Amino acid sequence: MTPVPTPPDPFSKLVSDLEDYVAFETEEGRSSVEIDLTVIAELGQPPPLSASAAVPASDVPDKETAPMETAAWTDLDAVAASIADCTQCGLHATRTNTVPGEGHSQPEIMFVGEAPGADEDAQGRPFVGRAGKLLTKMIEAMGFQREEVFIANICKCRPPENRKPEPAEMEACIPYLKAQIALLKPKVIVCLGGTATEGLLGLTGITKVRGNWHTFEGIDVMPTFHPSYLLRKPGAKHEVWADLQAVLKHIDRPVPEY
Ligand code: SF4
């Protein structure tokens, strides 16, 4: 008699998902993760007694820091110059280089990620590590060269140990991205990953949000998974490719079939 397969029990599934999540965060170079205490409470577990599991507290924007001189941002170089001198949040203290972003000055598509990692911090350029190489392949698969699009991040300085930027850090840095978007006027912004989507659109839950159109300051935004996630979960490439195909259709570009 053929044995009846046992359905996966919910606890094993939860553990498996957690293992995937921790492996993904580790691959991203993070040594700590955020824990939602409400979820723990719903699971019937007491909340941790100490804050040792929490992401290290970040410096909030320095209230005594001079306000940004946004009026001077008449071109991308002026924005980059302000970023290079910026001390609006605590990330300035540990950066090697600022990473303002790079690409075409009149792009059809702008890609926005979370924050620089180690390679980007060392070179002062966005998306130059393993995830960056995959992003370049994704751009080329869409029929563009990397130089034809613009690539930037929500935060322009690397968070220590590649941790997720704090909301205060994203808030402090967002004026630079807003200025870049206003100058670039892309037809479409592709938001790479949950943190970028949260920082730009204020939306959480990338799995649900991706694949649907949103707007930021009048520009259509397509959230999708971060290339780092694809390195961990190659199976999700189909979903990302579907999102990028939607972008190509949206801007009346040919949609390559693979
Ligand atoms: S992350 Fe942004 S706001 Fe913070 S110091 Fe760097 S450029 Fe300034």
pLDDT digits (tens, 9 = 90+) for 53-112: 343 444 444 445 667 878 889 999 999 999 999 999 999 999 999 999 999 999 999 999
Does any ligand 1 atom lie closer than 6 A to the CB of residue 128?
no
As a whole number, the mean pLDDT across the chain is 84
Q: Look at residue 46 and tell me whether its pLDDT is greater than 60.
A: no
- Model confidence at 144, pLDDT cuts 50, 70, 90, reads very high
Going from the Cα of 55 to the center of ligand 1, the distance in angstroms, rounded, reads: 18
Counting residues of the chain whose pLDDT is more than 70, the rounded percentage is 74
Cα separation, 181 vs 77, whole angstroms: 13
Q: Which residues contact 157 (CB under 8 A, 6 or more apart)?
A: 86, 89, 91, 92, 94, 95, 98, 99, 115, 116, 121, 173
Q: Where are the domains of the chain?
A: 70-250
Residue among 68, 79, 114, 156 whose CB has most ligand 1 atoms within 8 A, to mutate: 156
Say how far apart CA 166 and CA 195 lie, in whole Å: 10
Tell whether the model's pLDDT for residue 166 goes beyond 80.
yes
**For 2-6, 69-73, 91-95, 138-142, which range has the lowest pLDDT when averaged over its residues?**
2-6
Token pair of 88 as six digits: 């609006």
Share of the chain above pLDDT 90, in %: 71
Name the percent of the chain in helix, strand, coil, to the closest 5: 45, 10, 45
CA 252 to chain CA centroid, nearest Å: 26
Q: How confident is the model at residue 257 (pLDDT cuts 50, 70, 90)?
A: confident
User: In which element (H, E) is residue 215 found?
Assistant: strand 214-216
C-alpha distance from residue 103 to each of 58, 74, 136, 145 (Å): 30, 17, 12, 10
**Which residue's CA is the nearest one to ligand 1's atom 6?**
157
Q: Supply angle C-alpha 86, 103, 113, rounded to 5.
A: 65
* CA of residue 142 to ligand 1 center, whole Å: 31
**What's the pLDDT tens digit per position in 10-33?**
555 455 455 555 545 554 545 555
Ligand 1, atom 3, residue with closest C-alpha: 173
Distance CA 144, CA 216 (A): 23
Fold held by 70-250: Uracil-DNA Glycosylase, subunit E (3.40.470)
Q: 62-66, 168-172, 217-221: lowest mean pLDDT where? A: 62-66
pTM of the model: 0.79
For the beta carbon of residue 97, count every other beta carbon within 10 angstroms: 16
176-205 average pLDDT score: 97
pLDDT score for 115: 98
Strand partners, 151: 102, 111
Distance (Å) from CA 155 to ligand 1 centroid: 6
More confident site: 41 or 65: 65
